[in-house]
Amino acid sequence: MKEVTIYTDGACSGNPGPGGWAAILRYGSRERVITGAERQTTNNRMELAAVVESLRVLKKRCKIFIHTDSAYVANAFNQGWIEGWLKNGWKTANKKPVKNKDLWQNLLSQMDRHEVRFVKVKGHADNDLNNRVDRLAVEAMKL
């Protein structure tokens, strides 16, 4: 099974406001960069969109390590939030509807095809790929 390392990030001006997302996919010696934007969105939505879209472009089953500085995304899986939301009928522990349900559902369907692990990285630190994907998301937001 091919191993893929993915760095993702989202950016938003105003929150809500214009937003962008980016992902850098690396497998072997190959690299692919993807970006996108929405006119009226939130930062969390852009963080999720980056992950969803990065998985969507992979055609074959892969072992994937997704590096993200988004606690919202990483904690949903690494701390089991997603299981609780599913058990509670897409409601948080506070019984409020889960925001961005459409993207979470899309992400879960994409994850069914792959073996995925989330790696929480410190944002705006000394990780070159995280810094690069952040710049790409900000640039995408301006389109």
Delineate the domains of the chain, giving CATH numbers in brackets: 2-141 (3.30.420.10)
Which residue in the list 20, 38, 67, 69 is annotated as catalytic? 69
Percent of the chain with pLDDT over 70: 100
Which residue in the list 47, 53, 67, 114 is annotated as catalytic? 47
Which residue in the list 9, 19, 38, 53 is annotated as catalytic? 9
Q: Is the CA virtual torsion 51, 53, 9, 84 positive or negative?
A: negative
Segments in the chain forming alpha helices (H): 43-56, 71-78, 81-87, 101-111, 128-141
CB atoms within 10 A of CB 40: 11
Q: Is-catalytic flag, 134? A: yes
Measure the CA–CA gap between 76 and 73, rounded to whole angstroms. Answer: 5
Q: Is-catalytic flag, 10? A: yes
Q: Is-catalytic flag, 53? A: no
Which residue in the list 28, 89, 124, 128 is annotated as catalytic? 124
pLDDT of residue 60: 94
94-137 pLDDT per residue, tens? 999 999 999 999 999 999 999 999 999 987 777 899 999 999 99
Q: Is-catalytic flag, 9? A: yes
pLDDT of residue 143: 73
Give the amino acid at 24.
I
Which residues, listed in sequence order, are joined to residue 140 by a DSSP beta bridge? Answer: none
Reading the block at residue 70, the tokens are 């988004």
Q: Is-catalytic flag, 102? A: no
69-85 pLDDT per residue, tens? 999 999 999 999 999 99
Which residue in the list 10, 19, 20, 36 is annotated as catalytic? 10
Residues 104, 95, 9, 106, Cα dihedral to 10°? 0
pLDDT of residue 40: 95
User: Is a pLDDT exceeding 90 seen at residue 54?
Assistant: yes
28-49 pLDDT per residue, tens? 999 999 999 999 999 999 999 9
Residue 80: helix, strand or coil by DSSP? coil
CB atoms within 10 A of CB 97: 10
